[in-house]
Amino acid sequence: MPQAVYARLQQIANKLITNYGQTGKITEIAAPPNPVEGGDPVTVEHTAKMFPDKYEAREIDGTVIKTGDVKLYISSVGLSVVPSVGMYAEMADGNSYRIENADPNRYDGVTNVVFIVQGRIAA
């Protein structure tokens, strides 16, 4: 059962990300290319509000978190998809990151307060 405190935290996170972040998009691959005939994958884009942050030097281990990775705080308000590994986050400045790790921050098991994902520069 959702608790009011988590809905309030969701609104606070959304306000902070809206005020200090930027509008971008989350791209999911709905259908991969045909392995025999090739072609382009089918993608779906979702508008999202997000805030990029750097990892501290002590968090970078060179294996899981590499130099250049970013921590993205993504507002869950109005987002029609849960960001997950393999999706892409494109920032307003044109930088595109592949989502390597995702944490939905769903403390009560129902309300997505904020999404915190690890992004790596997309090649």
Condensed to tens digits (0 to 9), the pLDDT of residues 21-79 reads 999 999 998 888 888 888 888 899 999 999 999 999 999 999 999 999 999 999 999 99
Average pLDDT over residues 83-104: 94
Per-residue pLDDT at 41: 86
pLDDT level of residue 5 (50, 70, 90 thresholds)? very high
Contacts 24+ apart (CB under 8 A), 5-13: 6/107, 6/108, 6/110, 6/111, 6/113, 7/111, 9/113, 9/114, 10/76, 10/77, 10/111, 10/112, 10/113, 10/114, 11/77, 13/73, 13/75, 13/76, 13/113, 13/114
pLDDT level of residue 2 (50, 70, 90 thresholds)? low
Question: How many domains, the chain?
Answer: 1
pLDDT level of residue 1 (50, 70, 90 thresholds)? low
Domain with 82 in it: 4-121
Where residue 115 sits, what CATH number does that domain have?
2.40.10.270
State if pTM tops 0.75: yes
